[in-house]
Amino acid sequence: MCEIVVVIASVSRSGHIRHPGREDLGGGIDRGQRAVSGSERITLATRHRVEPGDCISSIAFKHGFFPETIWNHPENDDLRARRKDMSVLMPGDIVFVPDKRIKTVSKPTDATHVFRYRGVPARLNIVVNCYGEPLRNKKFELAVDGVTLAGQTDAEGGIKIAIPPNAVLGTLRVDEGERQLEFRLELGRLNPIDEVTGFKQRLHNLGYEVGELDETVSEAFRAAISRFEAEQGMPPTGECSDANRQKLREVYGR
């Protein structure tokens, strides 16, 4: 929660000022923007083509909205039906970004007023394993876009930490005895599980050898599926199916 302190010194007879509303995360209106009434809008509606690394949080942050405002917009009904998870989009998906609403308030002049608005960090959730065992209660450092964050993994090897919604790359270092494990993170690049690449990415991140992370259904990928199925008590088929896709979603977390 951030505070903006505004001193109003006879700006107008009515004392109208502008301040960031629920959907304006960029600190208000750009310089030079004319005053508008509460019923007017800035015309910004557009359709955003998803690029690698995009998710609803990063798109919303770029355009000055809360993620839920964009994700739940009626124009994105089809997208929600296909993707289910606002954090997992596919390059080429089209996201509708609505007009921005401007909020106005009236306050007396020659006074100081405090306005609060909510920031929107994204939350990074990771479980760190080594040879199938969670790295429990281990110190870690996470460098994200030039900022280093430190902490300790939880009892399940998990890390839950706030990061900027538009973060792209990260490096995670975790202490393990006398050595330090290092992981490179490409944030926002997890594809939907319905796609071959999305299925591969999840198996790869769980430690399975799947071959190239592309759309090719290779022998290595089939072998990884069979191994995963067997370890989950399922008949090994070596094929993507609704059943093993659902199980993978449960194991991976999304």
Q: State pLDDT tens for residues 28-87.
A: 333 333 444 444 555 568 999 999 999 999 999 998 888 999 999 999 999 999 999 999
With contact defined as beta carbons under 8 Å apart, do 60 and 120 qualify? yes
Q: Comparing C-alpha atoms, which of 17, 19, 18, 15 is closest to residue 109?
A: 15
Angle at 160 between CA 158 and CA 165, to 5 degrees: 140
12, 134, 136, 140 from 177: Cα distances, Å? 65, 14, 12, 12
> What are the phi and psi torsion angles at 200 (to 5°)?
-60, -45
- The answer for residues whose C-beta is within 8 angstroms of residue 81's C-beta and 6 or more apart is none
Angle at 217 between CA 216 and CA 219, to 5 degrees: 120
Q: Comparing C-alpha atoms, which of 163, 117, 131 is closest to residue 144?
A: 163
Distance of CA 231 to the CA centre of its chain: 30
Dihedral sign computed on CA atoms, order 190, 195, 201, 207: positive
| pLDDT for 114 beyond 70 | yes
Quick one: average pLDDT of 196-214?
A: 93
H-only helix segments in the chain: 56-63, 67-71, 77-83, 196-205, 219-231, 242-252
Q: Comparing C-alpha atoms, which of 178, 217, 168 is closest to residue 53?
A: 168
pLDDT at position 29, please? 33
With contact defined as beta carbons under 8 Å apart, do 23 and 65 qualify? yes
**pTM (predicted TM-score):** 0.70
| pLDDT for 144 beyond 70 | yes
Quick one: average pLDDT of 171-198?
A: 90
- How many CA atoms does the CB half-sphere of 31 hold within 13 Å? 0
Distance of CA 14 to the CA centre of its chain: 41
